[in-house]
Structure 1
């Protein structure tokens, strides 16, 4: 009965462990990203193809960069293929997880072999022909070793709960890290989409008059060259942030040189030097992105909507730093490892009697190896998943973000922006022409009115002169009339 329980438990653990192991054994023929995204040699989906590669690159810490999996439709078809069981069994001895726990499995198998040999020496053994032989060691102190299987039966549920919690907590950490980068991808697209669509739109949503009255609102002429530069800066600083975040979460020896090279190749020298020399590079990149957004000609309400994405970037960055700096509590993971190691190292003592029907109890050796591979493999999977950033394809995410953002800011409204800019420029030009015509007409009218005023003034002056002349004539006539009698008297006196 105990033997059946052990075999059933081993089968169940193997069924549980195989899918988990497959998650770390991606197809060799897979393609990580499109060629336009691939930028570094760290974007592979399997162990190195070169058989002469050192063992440290084939499994263990050095193999983590080959586990950065990104699936496409072809990989999903292969993933759910009916041949997946055969393929997984065929690559059983190529699994890096199983190679990683090889020393632990070897130790448990060695104990199982030692138990079989010792008990055969002190309790008798059966040769290949089936004949039984007396013990080789017949001293009084020489006794067969073993433990009751009931002890392992009682501890199995507790060990299972510990392993389940350990694996689930590690997977949740990986899933949370992947969601953080999913948010980065989504909101980088969102940020650049809004910046591109709202560029130059300065509508007065709140009634505030911050534009001169010379132009109707949202009719400000757009300079295509300036637009291309400012939106290009937004796209560039967006990529610089996610690339800095990737470097911030990656080992320096793996990514520092590539990071410096990529930043210097894309950013202006002063921007690149400031970013590379910053103590906290993602924060510096976010600051540069904020400055680039602030330079965009648009209403401040729209700028506020764009800046909401930067707060989300801060959250994803802070969450990633939390995962990187805070592992599963060490006392929990250490106790689980110690419990598991003790249980498996003592397991051969419990399996000796259940395999009494096999030749010299020898079947307990492969059973011990199988159970050890499954259980040690589960614990190894949890340990590998606990720190997710060196197995996430962050470089692929950064390259994808770069291509998407550059494409979005290059749309220019699919040609509408250029037409709109030309129409606005023509409208402004016509406005200036219209103003000039009105000003010319006003000046002509003013001159005409000036001429009329001059003519009226001249007419008034002429009338005044005529009146003066008439008055003079009248005065002379009156004086002549008054002098006429006097003249007659003088003439008579002279005569």
Structure 2
């Protein structure tokens, strides 16, 4: 990336709205600012009596609050990153399963198309299950209306797809002469996909403890409510502005830490791009099905061997000298 593009990216991200937590916490910031303005107004009206308290306790409390927020944000990011790694594994394992089916499976065109289409449907089924959805035009286009409707009506869509893929592999082994070792390897890839699916479901169903989130938010509320009393004697009418400037990053970190706990939810802040990942898997697998064997055999060299063999011989001679 050129330096000019990097500079432009900096300003785009500074003033950007998409992906930012500010729009989600703006109302809360304004509420705390309004409360600070009320405290300032009362302090100004109460002649001879000040609402000001020492700022020292807030310095200590602010450091403790910042540490708690960072720890929770890191915990949320760990869940987000684990989800991303799991989906990276789903991308790789579906490719492995598709390549093994096409390279070592039977040559029957109908079987090859079925196993590739059901393998491409598996990430869609995982995505729908993680988002509690029961319909997808992509799945309908892959499998056809009747098969897709049966899938949407199943108890667990991902299990149903895995069962269908297992049936296709068993049919290839028992009826179409698929090699036993290739069958075992394909089954291992299918089992790894089920492991990734289960890990994603674990992340979705077990967010960070609610008590942890409740106590941190109570701490935030107490800190920001008492902050105007610590500032009013020092900066007076600037108290509402400074209170909002302090509240914005605190509330943003709180929101980010909460949103990162749910990496698969489409409406979550910076949710994982599951739709794009599923489309990428589908496109790659269907391209392999249509391509057949895309590479020609290695060209022989003048001595009758392959180019690769000639290169190895040349490398051996260079090493010997």
- Given the two structures, how large is their TM-score scaled by the length of structure 2? 0.82
1:86 aligns with 2:11: yes
1:274 to 1:90, Cα distance in 2 relative to 1, 3 A: closer
* In structure 1, distance between residues paired with 2:118 and 2:171: 13
CA displacement at 1:265 relative to structure 2: 3.2
Which residue number corresponds to residue 230 of structure 2?
350
1:332 aligns with 2:212: yes
Structure 1 unaligned segments of length 5 or more: list them.
1-75, 124-137, 201-221, 356-360, 418-495
1:121 aligns with 2:41: no
1:363 aligns with 2:238: yes
* Deviation by residue 1:339-392 (Cα, 9 ceiling, x = unmatched): 11211121111112332xxxxx22222111111111111111111111110222
1:119 to 1:272, Cα distance in 2 relative to 1, 3 A: closer
* Deviation by residue 1:12-64 (Cα, 9 ceiling, x = unmatched): xxxxxxxxxxxxxxxxxxxxxxxxxxxxxxxxxxxxxxxxxxxxxxxxxxxxx
1:314 aligns with 2:194: yes
CA displacement at 1:145 relative to structure 2: 0.8
CA displacement at 1:86 relative to structure 2: 2.9
1:289 aligns with 2:165: yes
The 8 Å contact of residues 193 and 409 in structure 1, kept in 2 or not, is answered as no
Q: From the CA coordinates, give the structure whose radius of gyration is larger.
A: 1
Which residue number corresponds to residue 33 of structure 2?
109
1:236 aligns with 2:160: no
- Given the two structures, how large is their TM-score scaled by the length of structure 1? 0.55
* In structure 2, distance between residues paired with 1:409 and 1:88: 41
Greater relative CO, 1 or 2 (CA 8 Å, sep 6+):
2
CA displacement at 1:415 relative to structure 2: 7.5
The 8 Å contact of residues 118 and 144 in structure 1, kept in 2 or not, is answered as no
Aligned residue-pair number: 288
Greater per-residue helix proportion: 2
* Of 288, 294, 303, the match for 1:414: 294
The 8 Å contact of residues 33 and 244 in structure 2, kept in 1 or not, is answered as yes
Structure 2 unaligned segments of length 5 or more: list them.
266-270, 298-321
1:291 to 1:169, Cα distance in 2 relative to 1, 3 A: same
* Deviation by residue 1:402-421 (Cα, 9 ceiling, x = unmatched): 1111112333223879xxxx
Which residue number corresponds to residue 301 of structure 2?
none
* In structure 1, distance between residues paired with 2:10 and 2:144: 52
The 8 Å contact of residues 50 and 233 in structure 2, kept in 1 or not, is answered as no
CA displacement at 1:87 relative to structure 2: 2.9
* In structure 2, distance between residues paired with 1:313 and 1:386: 22
